[in-house]
Structure 1
Amino acid sequence: MTAARPGSREPGDQEQPGGGAGAAGAPRVPAPRGGRAPGPAAPGPGTVPAVRRGTAPRQRTGRERTGGRPGAAPGPEGDGRLTHQELMSLLGVWALDACSVQEAACVEAHLNDCARCADEALRLRDAVTLLGPPRSLDLDPQLRHGVLESALARRPAVRPVPGWAAPYDAEAARLDALLHDINADEWDIPVRVRWFAGEERAGRSLTVAQVLDHLVAMDGLLARAVGLPDPLGADAPADPLERTETRWRLVTAAGGDSGPARLVAARAWEEWREQSRELVRTAARRGGRTGEEMLPVSVCDPGIFPGLGAAAGPRIPLSDAYLNRAFACWTHAGDIADAVDYPYEAPLGAHLRLLVDLTARRLPGSIAGRRRAGLATTRARLTTAGAPGRTVHLEIEGAGGGDYWIPLDSPTAAVTRVAARDAVAQVALADVEFCRLAAGRQSPAEAAVAGQGDQAAISDVLSALTALSRL
């Protein structure tokens, strides 16, 4: 029996030209506003854009002046006009949106008639955007969910993506968006992939294309299980590392790894994207109930689901296979984001909860495997089959968190209310750190772990968690 969890859950306005009519063909200057209206991505030549959203609000420092004509600031002679030289000196203040209302109107009227000042104003306003506070380049994971929810409320999908495939759909879309944002000179930056091999840290430096080819190879196992073609062919090996190495050899033999890094990655990107979309479409065609369909554990790395004995059978639900691929997609997207210094957020809270739950259910088998290999710290304690044994209370904090009671003595040991109350240890971890440990991207020594009780039991749980990691 896997980890028990009480109360478990199923998995513009348009820009307006400034005042004043210039000569034919003279540039039109929009008045400064707090945001940029939708329209062309870049202003045309001679056009001064409005103040861009995201720049810090600034208090106007210009002196309010009176007298002269409406909309004009009086000059030093009191005739209601500023000289060309005075207007030029106000361009920097105007670009910062720090002019008085009268000064701003006067400057904008002048910019409609003076192409030289309009060009200078355009350059100054572009420079102002660099002074704004730094913002994350990554879209909030909630944004895509909210947009889809709103769209589906207006027009329900003919074939909705079932809940068990939604995390994979979302993580594949986020990785696709990350790849769209990578600059041309970032495609050849080495991507460091780390995991645990036994008790030792392992690592490998890959290209973005090799990471995507690895995802293609591993997603191909799931594709084969749901009736889609395996990109490596019908006779391809099932071992994950062999599949990845086979994929890389096939790409090299076909000349797909030669040429500019961007073009090499574009080939792998296109194939991975089409395969991931077809997996999502297949899940939608199958519907929600098919998530309970049992598949051979060979559709994933068998080491990812350790401890599946005769009682449970070496099979896993289709929903778990999709969740496993969502976990891998998020993990490798994080590897790429780290390499190019891209701020990459955690998955949507509801999706992260499913990934945490999947990892917690894999833990008892990993603990048992380490015990059989003689790597466990705690001494074995024999129990009657099905009887309750020692447990560790695992408290996962955050949007994806929950409480889990992990059996120490046998993966099939029952976890009763009494056993849960008498847990030999308690461990508290943040949801993202818990997943990073399971992915091998972080070691227990690097994680902020709060634990009390039997320290040997806590060490066994954390070591079993990192033992779940793979390439």
Structure 2
Amino acid sequence: MSTEREGHTMGSDHEGVREMLGAWALGAVLPSDEPRLLGHLAECEWCAGEASRLRDTVRLLDGGDAALAYERIDRAATGEAAAYEDGGQEVRGRLLASVLAQRPAAPSTAGHAAPYAAAVAGLQALLRELGEQGPWSTPVVHDWDVHATVAHLLAADESLALRLGLPGRAPRGEPPRDLSWREQWAHRTAEVIAHERTHSPARTVAAWREQSAALLGAPQATDPELAAQATTLLGVRLPIADHYVVRGFETWIHTDDIGRALGRPVPTPPDPLLWRMVRLGVRILDLALADDSVSVLLTVAGHGSEGEWVLGSEDEPVAAELVLDPVDFCLLLAGRYDPGEVPRGLAGDERAARSVLERAARIAWL
């Protein structure tokens, strides 16, 4: 039995065939199912239209404008696509999601890129909840709203992308001369934010997502030997592997910024990834303290692990002992804690400990 509906025919095979459309768009439908599928498409205008749209989306993802493809997916999933009857919006969003789920998995990243991969996934999940008409103008941090914060991340990831030979996503003007790296960075992030203000939030998110996918697909994300090469980015010389960890750190911090602004909880990174960021943060802090005349024992404890490091001068006895939680330590490095207010344990010379905390807070460029 079949029932005629306005604009398309709902045959008895409609539900079963609809579940095969994602596989068909990928060219992965079973040969035994193909005659049944093609026969249904010849009779059902709605499914034929969906099949065509899914094939177009796969072509965009495979070799064309991935940003446009992702924007289409987001619009479908968040209700911005043209309305279909009989719950068609929900169906289309599910079908498009099934296409992505059935695509071959991207090459797995090496351990050094895992914090960035996890942070990207976390921000994607948060942004997916907002929708095209969501709270993009909500103030987040500095003078940025949600839209500008994503644009800032687009600019922040660009430095590593360009070093790896990947294209930039926003036009670049001639920077003023004789600027420090911090001034150059502030100029570039303002330039990218101004450019992205001319685009919709969905397009900015798509550009950021495309660039992050390119970074995670780069050989340096999967090959530790290639990632061992050192380069100077954002004022610090580190192996490329560590720059991936820095990208994960900043992406997580700004995801947390957005979550706090919107009242949406953002999970802490998994313990192994959190501790990878902690250890890198300690190394950077130690470099910053190398010329100081103080020596402080720093203990970071919690979230399944503990570490101790003597920071500062090698020629001076330890003047103070500091104990910090790993999340609080990361938030301090990100400039999200006032040095006098970060929860800590302290013994010994309070002035020496305060010097370390203040230097940690000044490292931030986020």
Tell me the residue number matched to 1:441. Answer: 336
In structure 1, C-alpha distance between the alignment counterparts of 2:146 and 2:201, rounded to whole Å: 6
| Structure 2 residue 334 is matched with structure 1 residue 396 | no
Deviation at 1:283, TM superposition (A): 4.1
Task: Compute the displacement of 1:209 (Å).
Answer: 1.2
Aligned equivalent of 1:251: 196
Unaligned runs of 5+ in 1: 1-154, 194-203, 257-263, 306-314, 372-379, 381-389
Cα RMSD (Å): 2.7
Does the 8 Å CA contact 1:391/1:405 hold for their aligned counterparts? no
Q: What residue in structure 2 maps to residue 367 of structure 1? A: 289
Whole-angstrom distance in 2 between the partners of 1:281 and 1:236? 29
The aligned counterpart of 2:258 is 336
Aligned-residue sequence identity (percent) comes to 29
SS where residue 404 of structure 1 aligns? strand
Kindly report which structure 2 residues correspond to 1:268-417, keeping only aligned pairs within 5 A, or say none: 268-283=204-219, 287-295=223-231, 297=232, 299=233, 301-302=234-235, 305=236, 315-368=237-290, 380=293, 391-399=295-303, 401-409=305-313, 413=314
Q: Which residue of 2 aligns with 1:15?
A: none
1:163, distance to aligned residue in structure 2 (A): 0.7
Q: Tell me if 1:176 matches 2:124.
A: yes
TM-score (norm 2): 0.64
Q: 2:156 matched to which residue of 1?
A: 218
Whole-Å Cα distance in 2 between the matches of residues 234 and 289 of structure 1? 31
2:324 to 409, 418, 429: 429
Distance 2:304 2:230 in 1: 25
Q: CA deviation at 1:176?
A: 0.2
Q: Is the 8 A contact 1:395 1:404 kept in 2?
A: yes
Does structure 1 retain, via aligned residues, the 8 Å contact 2:109–2:222?
A: no
Tell me if structure 1 keeps the 8 A contact 2:107–2:222: no
1:279 partner letter: L
Q: Deviations over 1:174-206 (max 9, x none)?
A: 10001112266642342331xxxxxxxxxx232
**Paired residue for 2:354?**
459
> What displacement does 1:286 show?
5.1
1:460: how far off?
A: 0.8
Report the CA distance shift for 1:161/1:436 in structure 2 as closer, same or farther (over 3 A): same
Q: Which has the larger radius of gyration?
A: 1
Q: What amino acid is the match of 1:361?
A: R
Q: Which has the higher helix share?
A: 2
The 2-side partners of 1:291 and 1:245 are apart by: 29
The residue identity in structure 2 corresponding to 1:469 is: A
| Alignment-mate amino acid for residue 398 of structure 1 | G
Cα gap change, 1:400/1:208 in structure 2, threshold over 3 Å: closer, same or farther?
Answer: farther
Please, which of 111, 114, 136 is the counterpart of residue 163 of structure 1? 111
CA distance 1:235–1:162, change in 2 (3 Å): farther
Counterparts of 1:80-91 in structure 2 under 5 Å? Answer: none
Stretches of structure 2 that go unaligned for 5 or more consecutive residues are 1-103, 176-180
Cα distance in 1, alignment partners of residues 214 and 131 from structure 2: 27
> CA separation of 1:222/1:285 partners in 2, compared to 1, >3 Å: closer, same or farther?
closer
Amino acid at match of 1:464: R
Tell whether the 8 Å contact from 2:151 to 2:192 is kept in structure 1 after alignment.
Answer: yes
Taking a change above 3 Å as real, the CA distance of residues 158 and 439 of structure 1, as seen in their structure-2 partners, is closer
Q: Which amino acid in 2 is paired with 1:447?
A: V
Are residues 283 and 397 of structure 1, via their aligned partners in 2, closer, same or farther at CA, if it must alter by over 3 Å?
Answer: farther
> Partners in 1 of 2:262 and 2:325 — Cα distance?
25
After the TM superposition, which segments of 4 or more aligned residues of structure 1 sit over 6 Å from their partners? none
How many positions carry a matched residue from both structures? Answer: 258
